[in-house]
Structure 1
Protein backbone atom coordinates (compact mmCIF):
# COMPACT_ATOMS: atom_id res chain seq x y z
CA UNK A 1 0.00 0.00 0.00
CA UNK A 2 1.25 3.48 -0.80
CA UNK A 3 0.46 6.51 1.28
CA UNK A 4 1.65 10.12 1.07
CA UNK A 5 5.02 10.83 2.67
CA UNK A 6 5.61 14.44 3.68
CA UNK A 7 8.74 16.36 4.65
CA UNK A 8 8.27 18.13 8.00
CA UNK A 9 9.77 21.59 8.57
CA UNK A 10 11.92 20.59 11.55
CA UNK A 11 13.93 18.23 9.35
CA UNK A 12 15.29 21.17 7.30
CA UNK A 13 14.57 24.13 9.50
CA UNK A 14 17.21 26.31 7.84
CA UNK A 15 15.04 26.53 4.70
CA UNK A 16 12.25 29.03 4.19
CA UNK A 17 8.88 27.67 2.99
CA UNK A 18 9.56 28.21 -0.72
CA UNK A 19 12.99 26.60 -0.46
CA UNK A 20 11.50 23.73 1.49
CA UNK A 21 8.94 22.96 -1.20
CA UNK A 22 11.72 22.80 -3.77
CA UNK A 23 13.85 20.58 -1.52
CA UNK A 24 10.99 18.17 -0.83
CA UNK A 25 10.22 17.87 -4.52
CA UNK A 26 13.85 17.24 -5.46
CA UNK A 27 14.19 14.62 -2.71
CA UNK A 28 11.13 12.72 -3.98
CA UNK A 29 8.52 13.44 -1.32
CA UNK A 30 4.81 13.43 -2.13
CA UNK A 31 3.99 16.29 0.19
CA UNK A 32 5.38 18.88 2.55
CA UNK A 33 4.55 20.62 5.81
CA UNK A 34 5.33 24.30 6.39
CA UNK A 35 6.18 26.29 9.50
CA UNK A 36 4.40 29.64 9.29
CA UNK A 37 4.93 30.57 12.95
CA UNK A 38 8.31 29.89 14.50
CA UNK A 39 8.45 27.66 17.56
CA UNK A 40 11.34 29.44 19.30
CA UNK A 41 12.94 32.88 19.23
CA UNK A 42 16.13 31.27 17.91
CA UNK A 43 14.43 30.45 14.58
CA UNK A 44 14.51 32.91 11.69
CA UNK A 45 11.66 35.40 11.64
CA UNK A 46 10.20 35.25 8.15
CA UNK A 47 7.27 37.05 6.46
CA UNK A 48 5.01 33.99 6.39
CA UNK A 49 1.60 35.35 7.42
CA UNK A 50 -0.59 37.02 4.82
CA UNK A 51 -0.11 37.47 1.09
CA UNK A 52 3.58 38.31 1.32
CA UNK A 53 5.98 37.78 -1.61
CA UNK A 54 7.39 34.72 0.17
CA UNK A 55 3.96 33.19 0.59
CA UNK A 56 3.05 33.86 -3.04
CA UNK A 57 6.32 32.30 -4.17
CA UNK A 58 5.65 29.28 -1.96
CA UNK A 59 2.24 28.83 -3.54
CA UNK A 60 3.80 29.08 -6.99
CA UNK A 61 6.31 26.37 -6.17
CA UNK A 62 3.61 24.13 -4.72
CA UNK A 63 1.68 24.51 -7.95
CA UNK A 64 4.76 23.92 -10.12
CA UNK A 65 5.93 20.82 -8.26
CA UNK A 66 2.50 19.30 -7.66
CA UNK A 67 3.36 18.62 -4.02
CA UNK A 68 0.50 18.42 -1.55
CA UNK A 69 0.65 20.61 1.54
CA UNK A 70 -0.30 18.37 4.46
CA UNK A 71 0.05 20.69 7.43
CA UNK A 72 0.97 24.13 8.69
CA UNK A 73 2.47 24.85 12.10
CA UNK A 74 2.68 25.73 14.86
CA UNK A 75 -0.20 27.14 16.91
CA UNK A 76 0.12 27.26 20.70
CA UNK A 77 -3.02 27.34 22.83
CA UNK A 78 -2.19 29.30 25.99
CA UNK A 79 -4.25 30.87 28.78
CA UNK A 80 -4.07 34.17 26.87
CA UNK A 81 -5.17 32.77 23.50
CA UNK A 82 -7.99 34.50 21.65
CA UNK A 83 -8.64 32.28 18.66
CA UNK A 84 -9.86 34.61 15.93
CA UNK A 85 -7.74 37.56 17.03
CA UNK A 86 -4.57 35.47 17.18
CA UNK A 87 -4.99 32.85 14.47
CA UNK A 88 -7.36 34.07 11.73
CA UNK A 89 -4.57 35.37 9.49
CA UNK A 90 -2.56 32.15 9.98
CA UNK A 91 -5.53 29.98 8.98
CA UNK A 92 -6.30 32.19 5.97
CA UNK A 93 -2.68 31.92 4.83
CA UNK A 94 -2.74 28.14 5.19
CA UNK A 95 -5.93 27.93 3.17
CA UNK A 96 -4.39 30.06 0.40
CA UNK A 97 -1.46 27.64 0.27
CA UNK A 98 -3.76 24.62 0.16
CA UNK A 99 -3.08 23.05 3.55
CA UNK A 100 -5.45 20.51 5.06
CA UNK A 101 -4.14 20.17 8.65
CA UNK A 102 -2.99 22.47 11.45
CA UNK A 103 -0.50 21.39 14.11
CA UNK A 104 -1.49 22.57 17.59
CA UNK A 105 0.32 22.37 20.93
CA UNK A 106 -1.29 22.63 24.34
CA UNK A 107 0.42 25.22 26.51
CA UNK A 108 -2.34 25.70 29.05
CA UNK A 109 -2.51 23.75 32.34
CA UNK A 110 -6.29 24.29 32.44
CA UNK A 111 -7.35 21.44 30.18
CA UNK A 112 -11.01 22.46 30.23
CA UNK A 113 -10.12 25.88 28.82
CA UNK A 114 -7.69 24.22 26.42
CA UNK A 115 -10.46 21.95 25.10
CA UNK A 116 -12.76 24.95 24.65
CA UNK A 117 -10.11 26.85 22.71
CA UNK A 118 -9.36 23.78 20.61
CA UNK A 119 -13.03 23.54 19.69
CA UNK A 120 -13.17 27.22 18.76
CA UNK A 121 -10.05 26.78 16.62
CA UNK A 122 -11.69 23.78 14.94
CA UNK A 123 -14.69 25.96 14.07
CA UNK A 124 -12.44 28.60 12.53
CA UNK A 125 -10.39 25.99 10.66
CA UNK A 126 -13.53 24.34 9.28
CA UNK A 127 -14.48 27.60 7.59
CA UNK A 128 -11.32 27.15 5.48
CA UNK A 129 -11.47 23.34 5.03
CA UNK A 130 -8.68 22.70 7.54
CA UNK A 131 -8.62 20.56 10.68
CA UNK A 132 -6.88 21.16 14.02
CA UNK A 133 -4.59 18.44 15.40
CA UNK A 134 -3.36 18.42 19.00
CA UNK A 135 0.18 17.08 19.42
CA UNK A 136 1.24 15.83 22.86
CA UNK A 137 4.82 16.85 23.74
CA UNK A 138 6.66 16.14 27.01
CA UNK A 139 7.63 19.80 27.54
CA UNK A 140 4.07 21.15 27.11
CA UNK A 141 0.98 20.99 29.28
CA UNK A 142 -0.22 18.07 27.15
CA UNK A 143 2.66 15.74 27.87
CA UNK A 144 1.51 12.36 26.58
CA UNK A 145 -1.01 10.45 24.50
CA UNK A 146 -3.38 9.91 27.42
CA UNK A 147 -3.64 13.63 28.20
CA UNK A 148 -4.06 14.47 24.52
CA UNK A 149 -6.79 11.87 24.08
CA UNK A 150 -8.66 13.16 27.12
CA UNK A 151 -8.63 16.72 25.75
CA UNK A 152 -9.74 15.66 22.27
CA UNK A 153 -12.54 13.58 23.81
CA UNK A 154 -13.59 16.47 26.03
CA UNK A 155 -13.57 18.81 23.05
CA UNK A 156 -15.81 16.41 21.14
CA UNK A 157 -15.42 18.30 17.87
CA UNK A 158 -15.47 16.38 14.57
CA UNK A 159 -12.83 18.73 13.14
CA UNK A 160 -10.21 17.92 15.80
CA UNK A 161 -7.54 15.25 15.47
CA UNK A 162 -4.74 13.84 17.60
CA UNK A 163 -1.25 14.03 16.13
CA UNK A 164 1.18 11.31 17.19
CA UNK A 165 4.90 12.11 17.02
CA UNK A 166 6.96 8.91 17.19
CA UNK A 167 9.64 10.35 19.47
CA UNK A 168 7.22 11.84 21.99
CA UNK A 169 5.09 8.69 21.85
CA UNK A 170 8.10 6.52 22.63
CA UNK A 171 9.54 8.77 25.35
CA UNK A 172 6.15 8.76 27.10
CA UNK A 173 6.20 4.93 27.08
CA UNK A 174 3.07 4.75 24.97
CA UNK A 175 2.29 1.54 23.08
CA UNK A 176 0.48 0.35 19.95
CA UNK A 177 -2.31 -0.87 22.24
CA UNK A 178 -2.76 2.70 23.51
CA UNK A 179 -3.22 3.88 19.93
CA UNK A 180 -5.49 1.03 18.90
CA UNK A 181 -7.87 1.87 21.75
CA UNK A 182 -8.58 5.34 20.32
CA UNK A 183 -11.04 6.28 17.53
CA UNK A 184 -9.35 5.82 14.17
CA UNK A 185 -10.84 9.03 12.77
CA UNK A 186 -8.86 11.07 15.26
CA UNK A 187 -5.68 10.40 13.27
CA UNK A 188 -5.36 12.69 10.23
CA UNK A 189 -1.58 12.24 9.83
CA UNK A 190 1.39 10.97 11.85
CA UNK A 191 4.96 12.16 12.39
CA UNK A 192 7.77 9.61 12.32
CA UNK A 193 11.47 9.60 13.14
CA UNK A 194 13.66 7.35 15.27
CA UNK A 195 15.63 7.72 18.47
CA UNK A 196 18.52 6.33 20.45
CA UNK A 197 17.70 3.63 23.03
CA UNK A 198 18.48 5.81 26.07
CA UNK A 199 15.51 7.98 26.99
CA UNK A 200 16.37 11.44 28.36
CA UNK A 201 15.59 11.96 32.03
CA UNK A 202 15.06 15.74 32.07
CA UNK A 203 12.69 18.03 30.21
CA UNK A 204 15.66 20.02 28.93
CA UNK A 205 17.24 16.90 27.45
CA UNK A 206 13.91 15.82 25.95
CA UNK A 207 13.51 19.22 24.34
CA UNK A 208 17.03 19.21 22.94
CA UNK A 209 16.66 15.71 21.52
CA UNK A 210 13.27 16.50 20.02
CA UNK A 211 14.46 19.64 18.27
CA UNK A 212 18.01 18.67 17.34
CA UNK A 213 19.06 15.06 17.83
CA UNK A 214 16.59 12.59 16.40
CA UNK A 215 17.46 9.76 14.03
CA UNK A 216 16.11 8.92 10.59
CA UNK A 217 13.31 6.34 10.56
CA UNK A 218 14.71 2.84 10.98
CA UNK A 219 18.03 4.00 12.42
CA UNK A 220 17.06 3.67 16.09
CA UNK A 221 15.04 1.48 18.40
CA UNK A 222 11.53 3.01 18.34
CA UNK A 223 8.92 0.44 17.32
CA UNK A 224 7.73 2.40 14.31
CA UNK A 225 6.27 -0.66 12.62
CA UNK A 226 4.10 -1.47 15.62
CA UNK A 227 3.03 2.14 15.95
CA UNK A 228 2.09 2.44 12.28
CA UNK A 229 0.20 -0.85 12.32
CA UNK A 230 -1.98 0.54 15.14
CA UNK A 231 -2.98 3.56 13.02
CA UNK A 232 -5.23 3.73 9.93
CA UNK A 233 -3.38 2.15 7.02
CA UNK A 234 -3.80 5.16 4.73
CA UNK A 235 -2.79 7.88 7.19
CA UNK A 236 -0.26 10.30 5.64
CA UNK A 237 3.22 10.15 7.15
CA UNK A 238 5.26 13.26 7.91
CA UNK A 239 8.98 12.69 8.45
CA UNK A 240 10.16 14.94 11.28
CA UNK A 241 13.80 14.04 11.77
CA UNK A 242 16.26 16.80 12.70
CA UNK A 243 19.59 15.01 12.96
CA UNK A 244 23.12 15.89 14.05
CA UNK A 245 24.63 15.47 10.60
CA UNK A 246 26.43 18.24 8.76
CA UNK A 247 25.03 17.48 5.34
CA UNK A 248 22.98 19.56 2.93
CA UNK A 249 19.25 19.91 3.42
CA UNK A 250 18.69 17.91 0.24
CA UNK A 251 20.94 15.04 1.35
CA UNK A 252 19.27 14.92 4.76
CA UNK A 253 15.84 14.95 3.13
CA UNK A 254 16.73 12.09 0.81
CA UNK A 255 18.07 10.03 3.71
CA UNK A 256 14.92 10.75 5.73
CA UNK A 257 12.71 9.65 2.85
CA UNK A 258 14.73 6.49 2.28
CA UNK A 259 14.36 5.50 5.93
CA UNK A 260 10.65 6.27 5.94
CA UNK A 261 10.02 4.14 2.86
CA UNK A 262 11.83 1.18 4.38
CA UNK A 263 9.82 1.43 7.60
CA UNK A 264 6.53 1.83 5.72
CA UNK A 265 7.35 -1.18 3.53
CA UNK A 266 7.78 -3.27 6.69
CA UNK A 267 4.61 -1.93 8.30
CA UNK A 268 2.50 -2.42 5.19
CA UNK A 269 3.92 -5.90 4.57
CA UNK A 270 2.96 -6.88 8.11
CA UNK A 271 -0.53 -5.47 7.54
CA UNK A 272 -0.95 -7.50 4.35
CA UNK A 273 0.22 -10.61 6.18
CA UNK A 274 -2.33 -10.04 8.95
CA UNK A 275 -5.10 -9.41 6.42
Structure 2
Protein backbone atom coordinates (compact mmCIF):
# COMPACT_ATOMS: atom_id res chain seq x y z
CA UNK A 1 0.00 0.00 0.00
CA UNK A 2 1.16 3.53 -0.74
CA UNK A 3 -0.08 6.68 0.97
CA UNK A 4 -0.90 10.21 -0.13
CA UNK A 5 -2.75 13.25 1.14
CA UNK A 6 -4.82 15.83 -0.70
CA UNK A 7 -3.88 19.50 -0.88
CA UNK A 8 -7.54 20.22 -0.09
CA UNK A 9 -6.26 19.97 3.49
CA UNK A 10 -3.63 22.69 3.01
CA UNK A 11 -5.42 25.23 0.79
CA UNK A 12 -3.11 27.61 -1.03
CA UNK A 13 0.10 26.06 0.32
CA UNK A 14 3.08 26.61 -1.97
CA UNK A 15 4.35 23.56 -3.83
CA UNK A 16 7.78 23.39 -2.08
CA UNK A 17 6.02 23.40 1.29
CA UNK A 18 3.58 20.68 0.22
CA UNK A 19 6.45 18.51 -1.01
CA UNK A 20 8.46 19.07 2.17
CA UNK A 21 5.45 18.20 4.31
CA UNK A 22 4.84 14.96 2.41
CA UNK A 23 8.47 13.90 2.62
CA UNK A 24 8.86 14.80 6.29
CA UNK A 25 5.72 12.88 7.28
CA UNK A 26 6.53 9.78 5.22
CA UNK A 27 3.90 10.08 2.47
CA UNK A 28 4.62 8.58 -0.92
CA UNK A 29 2.50 11.00 -2.91
CA UNK A 30 0.16 13.98 -3.06
CA UNK A 31 -3.24 14.50 -4.65
CA UNK A 32 -3.10 17.99 -6.14
CA UNK A 33 -6.31 20.02 -6.04
CA UNK A 34 -6.35 21.61 -9.51
CA UNK A 35 -8.26 24.83 -9.00
CA UNK A 36 -7.34 28.41 -10.00
CA UNK A 37 -7.07 29.40 -6.32
CA UNK A 38 -4.33 26.78 -5.84
CA UNK A 39 -0.67 26.92 -6.97
CA UNK A 40 -1.22 24.07 -9.45
CA UNK A 41 -4.01 24.42 -12.01
CA UNK A 42 -4.54 24.10 -15.77
CA UNK A 43 -3.49 27.71 -16.35
CA UNK A 44 0.17 26.99 -15.57
CA UNK A 45 2.51 27.55 -18.49
CA UNK A 46 5.18 25.07 -19.54
CA UNK A 47 8.07 26.31 -17.37
CA UNK A 48 5.79 26.46 -14.31
CA UNK A 49 4.74 22.86 -14.90
CA UNK A 50 8.37 21.78 -15.20
CA UNK A 51 9.15 23.54 -11.92
CA UNK A 52 6.38 21.60 -10.14
CA UNK A 53 7.72 18.31 -11.52
CA UNK A 54 11.24 19.20 -10.39
CA UNK A 55 10.11 19.98 -6.83
CA UNK A 56 8.42 16.61 -6.44
CA UNK A 57 11.27 14.72 -8.12
CA UNK A 58 13.89 16.22 -5.80
CA UNK A 59 12.04 14.87 -2.77
CA UNK A 60 11.09 11.52 -4.30
CA UNK A 61 7.39 12.29 -3.78
CA UNK A 62 4.89 11.37 -6.50
CA UNK A 63 2.00 13.36 -7.89
CA UNK A 64 -0.82 10.88 -7.56
CA UNK A 65 -3.67 12.81 -9.12
CA UNK A 66 -4.76 16.05 -10.66
CA UNK A 67 -8.01 16.51 -8.74
CA UNK A 68 -10.22 18.46 -11.09
CA UNK A 69 -13.75 19.76 -10.87
CA UNK A 70 -15.18 18.77 -14.23
CA UNK A 71 -18.78 17.57 -13.76
CA UNK A 72 -19.35 14.98 -16.41
CA UNK A 73 -23.03 14.21 -15.73
CA UNK A 74 -24.20 17.80 -15.52
CA UNK A 75 -26.82 18.94 -18.02
CA UNK A 76 -25.80 21.34 -20.76
CA UNK A 77 -23.46 21.54 -23.72
CA UNK A 78 -20.70 18.98 -24.04
CA UNK A 79 -18.00 21.30 -25.36
CA UNK A 80 -17.19 23.19 -22.12
CA UNK A 81 -16.93 19.87 -20.30
CA UNK A 82 -14.67 18.41 -22.98
CA UNK A 83 -12.48 21.52 -22.83
CA UNK A 84 -12.15 21.23 -19.05
CA UNK A 85 -11.40 17.52 -19.27
CA UNK A 86 -8.74 18.07 -21.92
CA UNK A 87 -7.05 20.79 -19.87
CA UNK A 88 -6.94 18.51 -16.85
CA UNK A 89 -5.62 15.57 -18.86
CA UNK A 90 -2.81 17.58 -20.43
CA UNK A 91 -1.89 19.05 -17.05
CA UNK A 92 -1.72 15.54 -15.55
CA UNK A 93 0.40 14.30 -18.45
CA UNK A 94 2.82 17.21 -18.12
CA UNK A 95 3.14 16.62 -14.38
CA UNK A 96 3.53 12.85 -14.71
CA UNK A 97 0.36 12.20 -12.72
CA UNK A 98 -1.36 8.91 -13.59
CA UNK A 99 -4.88 10.08 -12.69
CA UNK A 100 -7.38 12.86 -13.22
CA UNK A 101 -10.25 13.05 -10.73
CA UNK A 102 -13.68 14.19 -11.99
CA UNK A 103 -17.12 14.54 -10.39
CA UNK A 104 -20.52 13.42 -11.68
CA UNK A 105 -22.33 16.64 -10.79
CA UNK A 106 -25.65 15.96 -12.47
CA UNK A 107 -29.06 14.93 -11.23
CA UNK A 108 -29.59 11.21 -10.62
CA UNK A 109 -31.19 9.34 -13.48
CA UNK A 110 -30.67 7.58 -16.78
CA UNK A 111 -30.06 10.81 -18.66
CA UNK A 112 -27.25 11.82 -16.32
CA UNK A 113 -25.71 8.34 -16.63
CA UNK A 114 -25.84 8.54 -20.42
CA UNK A 115 -24.37 12.05 -20.48
CA UNK A 116 -21.51 11.07 -18.21
CA UNK A 117 -20.76 7.88 -20.14
CA UNK A 118 -20.76 9.72 -23.47
CA UNK A 119 -18.40 12.45 -22.28
CA UNK A 120 -16.08 10.06 -20.51
CA UNK A 121 -15.99 7.80 -23.54
CA UNK A 122 -14.80 10.63 -25.77
CA UNK A 123 -12.26 11.86 -23.21
CA UNK A 124 -10.97 8.31 -22.70
CA UNK A 125 -9.35 8.35 -26.13
CA UNK A 126 -7.37 11.46 -25.25
CA UNK A 127 -6.51 9.97 -21.85
CA UNK A 128 -5.22 6.81 -23.50
CA UNK A 129 -2.98 8.78 -25.84
CA UNK A 130 -1.55 10.69 -22.87
CA UNK A 131 -1.19 7.69 -20.56
CA UNK A 132 -3.57 9.13 -17.97
CA UNK A 133 -6.64 7.51 -16.36
CA UNK A 134 -9.82 9.44 -15.58
CA UNK A 135 -11.39 8.48 -12.25
CA UNK A 136 -15.05 9.20 -11.52
CA UNK A 137 -15.49 9.84 -7.79
CA UNK A 138 -18.37 8.56 -5.68
CA UNK A 139 -19.85 12.00 -5.11
CA UNK A 140 -22.89 14.31 -5.35
CA UNK A 141 -25.44 12.87 -7.81
CA UNK A 142 -23.67 9.49 -7.93
CA UNK A 143 -22.63 8.85 -4.31
CA UNK A 144 -22.62 5.05 -4.26
CA UNK A 145 -20.50 2.34 -5.78
CA UNK A 146 -23.56 1.20 -7.70
CA UNK A 147 -23.96 4.66 -9.24
CA UNK A 148 -20.35 5.05 -10.33
CA UNK A 149 -19.92 1.44 -11.46
CA UNK A 150 -22.99 1.79 -13.66
CA UNK A 151 -21.44 4.73 -15.52
CA UNK A 152 -17.91 3.35 -15.75
CA UNK A 153 -19.18 0.00 -17.00
CA UNK A 154 -21.17 1.78 -19.71
CA UNK A 155 -18.00 3.53 -20.88
CA UNK A 156 -16.10 0.25 -21.05
CA UNK A 157 -12.65 1.79 -21.45
CA UNK A 158 -9.60 1.01 -19.31
CA UNK A 159 -8.66 4.69 -19.12
CA UNK A 160 -11.87 5.48 -17.24
CA UNK A 161 -12.11 4.10 -13.71
CA UNK A 162 -13.52 4.79 -10.27
CA UNK A 163 -12.36 6.68 -7.20
CA UNK A 164 -13.85 5.40 -3.95
CA UNK A 165 -14.42 8.30 -1.56
CA UNK A 166 -15.42 6.22 1.46
CA UNK A 167 -17.70 8.85 2.99
CA UNK A 168 -20.34 9.31 0.32
CA UNK A 169 -21.44 5.68 -0.22
CA UNK A 170 -21.55 5.11 3.54
CA UNK A 171 -23.70 8.20 4.09
CA UNK A 172 -25.98 7.01 1.29
CA UNK A 173 -26.51 3.71 3.11
CA UNK A 174 -24.31 1.45 0.98
CA UNK A 175 -22.20 -0.98 3.01
CA UNK A 176 -18.42 -0.82 2.36
CA UNK A 177 -18.43 -4.50 1.34
CA UNK A 178 -20.98 -3.70 -1.36
CA UNK A 179 -19.16 -0.58 -2.52
CA UNK A 180 -15.86 -2.38 -2.86
CA UNK A 181 -17.36 -5.35 -4.70
CA UNK A 182 -18.96 -3.02 -7.23
CA UNK A 183 -15.94 -0.77 -7.74
CA UNK A 184 -13.12 -3.32 -7.54
CA UNK A 185 -13.01 -4.01 -11.31
CA UNK A 186 -12.57 -0.29 -12.00
CA UNK A 187 -10.86 1.02 -8.87
CA UNK A 188 -8.07 3.55 -9.24
CA UNK A 189 -7.53 4.15 -5.55
CA UNK A 190 -9.30 4.86 -2.25
CA UNK A 191 -9.87 8.27 -0.72
CA UNK A 192 -10.21 8.06 3.07
CA UNK A 193 -11.39 10.64 5.58
CA UNK A 194 -13.18 10.77 8.91
CA UNK A 195 -16.11 12.93 10.00
CA UNK A 196 -17.85 13.93 13.19
CA UNK A 197 -21.14 12.15 12.43
CA UNK A 198 -23.38 11.02 9.59
CA UNK A 199 -25.08 14.43 9.68
CA UNK A 200 -22.01 16.53 10.50
CA UNK A 201 -19.29 16.09 7.89
CA UNK A 202 -16.77 18.32 9.67
CA UNK A 203 -13.38 16.63 9.17
CA UNK A 204 -11.66 15.06 12.15
CA UNK A 205 -8.40 13.15 12.56
CA UNK A 206 -8.45 9.64 11.14
CA UNK A 207 -9.91 7.20 13.64
CA UNK A 208 -11.65 9.88 15.71
CA UNK A 209 -14.88 9.93 13.73
CA UNK A 210 -17.62 7.57 12.62
CA UNK A 211 -16.50 6.24 9.23
CA UNK A 212 -15.70 2.49 9.04
CA UNK A 213 -12.11 3.02 7.95
CA UNK A 214 -10.76 -0.30 9.19
CA UNK A 215 -13.40 -2.18 7.22
CA UNK A 216 -12.73 -0.19 4.07
CA UNK A 217 -8.96 -0.65 4.29
CA UNK A 218 -9.23 -4.35 5.04
CA UNK A 219 -11.35 -4.82 1.91
CA UNK A 220 -8.71 -3.17 -0.25
CA UNK A 221 -5.93 -5.14 1.46
CA UNK A 222 -2.22 -4.35 1.90
CA UNK A 223 -1.56 -4.80 -1.82
CA UNK A 224 -4.40 -2.51 -2.86
CA UNK A 225 -2.37 0.31 -4.34
CA UNK A 226 -2.87 3.88 -3.16
CA UNK A 227 -4.80 5.31 -0.22
CA UNK A 228 -5.22 9.08 -0.08
CA UNK A 229 -6.34 11.09 2.94
CA UNK A 230 -8.70 13.89 1.89
CA UNK A 231 -9.03 16.28 4.82
CA UNK A 232 -11.51 18.95 3.74
CA UNK A 233 -9.98 21.94 5.50
CA UNK A 234 -10.82 24.13 2.49
CA UNK A 235 -14.55 23.79 3.20
CA UNK A 236 -14.25 23.79 7.00
CA UNK A 237 -11.79 26.57 7.90
CA UNK A 238 -12.48 26.15 11.63
CA UNK A 239 -11.24 22.54 11.55
CA UNK A 240 -7.77 21.90 13.05
CA UNK A 241 -4.88 22.43 10.66
CA UNK A 242 -3.77 19.38 8.72
CA UNK A 243 0.05 19.43 9.03
CA UNK A 244 0.20 18.47 12.74
CA UNK A 245 -2.14 15.54 12.03
CA UNK A 246 -0.26 14.01 9.10
CA UNK A 247 2.33 11.87 10.87
CA UNK A 248 -0.23 10.30 13.21
CA UNK A 249 -2.58 9.66 10.27
CA UNK A 250 0.09 7.79 8.37
CA UNK A 251 0.79 5.67 11.44
CA UNK A 252 -2.93 5.02 11.73
CA UNK A 253 -3.16 3.95 8.09
CA UNK A 254 -0.14 1.67 8.24
CA UNK A 255 -0.95 0.23 11.66
CA UNK A 256 2.39 1.40 13.04
TM-score (structure 1 length as normaliser):
0.78
3-state SS of paired residue (2:141): coil
Q: Is the 8 A contact 2:26 2:250 kept in 1?
A: no
Partner of residue 119 from structure 1, selected from 111, 118, 121: 121
Aligned to 1:271: none
Shift of 1:222: 1.1
Distance change >3 Å, CA 47–CA 37, structure 1 → 2? closer
Shift of 1:186: 1.2
1:265 aligns with 2:224: no
Aligned to 1:169: 169
Aligned to 1:179: 179
Q: Is the 8 A contact 1:106 1:134 kept in 2?
A: yes
3-state SS of paired residue (2:130): coil
Partner of residue 65 from structure 1, selected from 51, 59, 63: 59
TM-score (structure 2 length as normaliser):
0.84
User: Larger deviation: 161-170 or 178-187?
Assistant: 178-187
* Unaligned ranges ≥5, structure 2: none
Q: Is the 8 A contact 1:192 1:239 kept in 2?
A: yes
3-state SS of paired residue (2:67): strand
* Unaligned ranges ≥5, structure 1: 267-275
Aligned to 2:206: 217
1:55 aligns with 2:49: yes
Shift of 1:44: 5.2
Counting only pairs closer than 5 Å after superposition, residues 72-151 of structure 1 correspond to structure 2 as 72-74=66-68, 75-77=70-72, 78=74, 79-82=76-79, 84-109=82-107, 110-137=112-139, 140-151=140-151
Point out 4+ residue stretches in structure 1 off by more than 4 angstroms. Answer: 43-48
Q: Is the 8 A contact 1:21 1:58 kept in 2?
A: no
Please give the per-residue CA displacement for 1:248-267, whole angstroms capped at 9, x wherever unaligned. Answer: xxxx235134224323428x
Please give the per-residue CA displacement for 1:101-144, whole angstroms capped at 9, x wherever unaligned. Answer: 1101012332101111112222211111110111122xx32233
Aligned CA-pair RMSD: 2.4
- Cα distance in 2 for partners of 1:163, 1:255 equals 24
3-state SS of paired residue (2:167): helix
Distance change >3 Å, CA 80–CA 45, structure 1 → 2? farther
Please give the per-residue CA displacement for 1:3-29, whole angstroms capped at 9, x wherever unaligned. Answer: 211111211123144542233223321
